Amino acid sequence: MIEGRIAPRYRVNKPATIDYGGDKYSCTVRDISSTGAALEFSDLISVIRRAKAFTLLIPEDGLKLSCRVVWQRAFRMGVTFD
């Protein structure tokens, strides 16, 4: 299969937080690249499922990234970085 991604992605298991309208939601970054990430949630959060954009905080790396939602499935979400 030919991969159509702009940047290579790396599998990780990093705790992160989504900041959406001042509310914070925990998640785990499952893979990341210079252009985006796949996030996993421990439960369904209906507010996040409606979100189109938010800030992703990854304390371990000191990152604060503006994100846009690209895809969503069950407990996972793919985002691109602005």
Q: What is the pLDDT of residues 4-23, one digit of tens each?
A: 667 888 999 999 999 998 98
Q: Report the b/e string of 3-28 with b at 16+ CB within 10 A.
A: eeeeeebeebeeebebebeeeebebb
Q: Which CATH superfamily is domain 10-81 in?
A: predicted glycosyltransferase like domains (2.40.10.220)
The ranges assigned to domains in the chain are 10-81
Q: What is the pLDDT of residues 12-71, one digit of tens each?
A: 999 999 999 898 999 999 999 999 999 999 887 666 777 899 999 999 999 999 999 999
Residue 35: left (phi > 0), alpha (psi -120 to 50), or beta? alpha
Tokens describing residue 78: 């793919």
